[in-house]
Structure 1
Amino acid sequence: MATFDTKIAVLVRDDLETWQRLNVTSFLVSGIGRRAPEVIGEPYQDADGTEYLPMFRQPVLVFEGGKELLARSHGRALDRGLAVGVFTSDLFATGNDEDNRAAVRAVPRDSLDLVGLAVYGPRNAVDKAIKGARMHG
């Protein structure tokens, strides 16, 4: 397996149901390619020439932890200048992107009820930001 200088990590709250963890992870990673297009590889193609969407060129590691760990990791990631995506509990009740952004905008940073966090940046900085999280499993 290749070693990368950067890391893509998703941290989900450990009290979420399985469908919520998958949903949160999917939404969170979707913004990384826009912020850091270099993480996206080339499109795929099968032997018949059918083209498929490109994917990340490196693994996405999924971690879990409690509410306090998410809050600490959020602060650490921002302090380190990492690219950060957030998913708050309020987003489970919204139905579109505009309402999602309004729900996040309505709450001060330190009061966000985080259920998920995506972090991208230099590997060591990401590791320090999510220190204490355990691999999801």
Structure 2
Amino acid sequence: MRTKDETEAEVRVGTGAGSEDAPVRFDTKIAVLLRDDLEPWQRLNVTAFVVSGLGTASPEVVGGPYADADDTTYLPMFRQPVLVFQGTKETLTTAHARALSRSLATAVFTSDLFSTGNDRDNRAAVRAVGKDRLDLVGMAVYGPRNAVDKILKGARMHP
């Protein structure tokens, strides 16, 4: 398992400027923040849901399609690591307010969404509550590395 420092420092890929081993540095960050009292299945479900919106709002986060040696093609994925953090309900509420104040691309998942079963009802559940009263259990944010770091202040890396 990679440490936070190893993950955040550099990602080596075959698109470097002079060498296939040249490091690729990202000036942006994709981060997920989960409430620390979720069940394991809920953590996975929330993470999958909240990251799914980032590529639609910020297409530059998505890389090119994949292909294996047999030319079987696969869907594109994010071009950079997704860092997953956890925190208390209060940490999540504070991070949400910080993300909105910086106008960063943000996706949210509220506790109400565990009892809905489709996109229409999910959107209606979020729409029914003001931003300051959302019972957040997870969020994803994408933006400049320094801004995302400030938003996540007080959160810790997910184990």
* TM-score, length of structure 1 as denominator length: 0.98
Distance 2:89 2:113 in 1: 16
| Counterpart residue number, 1:29 | 51
| Counterpart residue number, 2:37 | 15
Distance 2:25 2:66 in 1: 22
Distance 2:37 2:153 in 1: 19
| 1:1-137 correspondence to structure 2 within 5 Å | 1=11, 2-137=24-159
Q: CA deviation at 1:67?
A: 0.2
CA distances 1:35-78 after superposition (whole Å, capped 9, x unpaired): 00011111100111110011100000000000000000000011
Unaligned runs of 5+ in 2: 1-10, 12-23
User: Which structure would you say has the larger Rg?
Assistant: 2
State the SS of the aligned residue for 1:64: strand
Distance 1:114 1:130 in 2: 15
Q: How many residues align?
A: 137
* TM-score, length of structure 2 as denominator length: 0.85
Distance 1:59 1:20 in 2: 21
Unaligned runs of 5+ in 1: none
RMSD: 0.6
Distance 1:93 1:3 in 2: 40
Considering Cα pairs closer than 8 Å and 6+ residues apart, tell me whether 1 or 2 has the greater RCO. Answer: 1
Which runs of at least 4 in structure 1 moved beyond 4 Å after TM superposition?
none
Q: CA deviation at 1:81?
A: 1.1
